C-alpha cells in the first residue's frame, strides 16, 4: 500500500505550480518555501488571490472529463429520462461540486458553472 501511495500523482496536479516574481522565502533552519501564484492541493487549485476562479475552472474540466465517457448512456433513448438524470447528477454534477463548500464564490463563478460565461 505504501508503494502505491508514493507513486500516486493527482491528475489535477500534473502541472501544479505557477510562479510569479520572487521564487522562494527562507523560513530558517535551512529550509526554503517556494512562492507560487497558484497550486494544486488534494485535487483543488488554490490561488494567491484567494478567489475561486482557478478552482472553478478545474472543476468544470473535471465535469467535462466525467461527462464525455457517459455520453452514450446519457443520449440513449432506451434508458429513461429519470435514470439518465440520476446518472448525470450522481457522476458528473457531484464531481463538479465536490469541495466547493469552502469556495468564496462570486456571480461570475456561478455563471461559469452554468455555462453562461
Of all helices (H) and strands (E), which one includes residue 41? strand 38-41
How far is Cα 33 from Cα 24, in angstroms, rounded to an integer? Answer: 5
What are the tens digits of pLDDT across the range 44-94?
A: 777 777 777 777 888 888 889 999 999 999 999 999 999 999 999 999 988
Number of domains composing the chain: 1
Kindly list the strands in the beta sheet with 17-18, ordered across the sheet, starting from the edge strand earlier in the chain. 17-18, 38-41, 44-47
Range of the domain at 87: 2-113
Contact 13, 45 (CB under 8 A): no
37 in helix, strand or coil?
coil
Mean pLDDT calculated for residue range 20-44: 71
Amino acid at each position: 500500500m505504501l508503494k502505491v501511495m508514493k507513486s500516486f500523482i493527482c491528475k489535477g496536479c500534473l502541472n501544479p505550480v505557477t510562479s510569479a516574481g520572487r521564487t522562494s522565502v527562507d523560513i530558517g533552519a535551512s529550509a526554503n518555501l517556494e512562492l507560487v501564484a497558484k497550486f494544486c492541493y488534494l485535487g483543488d487549485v488554490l490561488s494567491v488571490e484567494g478567489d475561486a476562479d482557478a478552482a472553478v475552472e478545474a472543476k468544470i474540466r473535471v465535469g467535462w472529463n466525467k461527462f464525455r465517457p457517459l455520453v452514450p448512456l446519457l443520449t440513449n433513448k432506451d434508458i429513461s429520462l429519470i435514470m439518465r438524470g440520476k446518472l448525470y447528477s450522481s457522476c458528473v454534477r457531484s464531481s463538479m461540486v465536490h469541495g466547493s463548500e469552502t469556495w468564496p464564490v462570486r456571480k461570475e463563478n456561478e455563471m461559469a458553472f452554468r455555462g453562461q460565461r
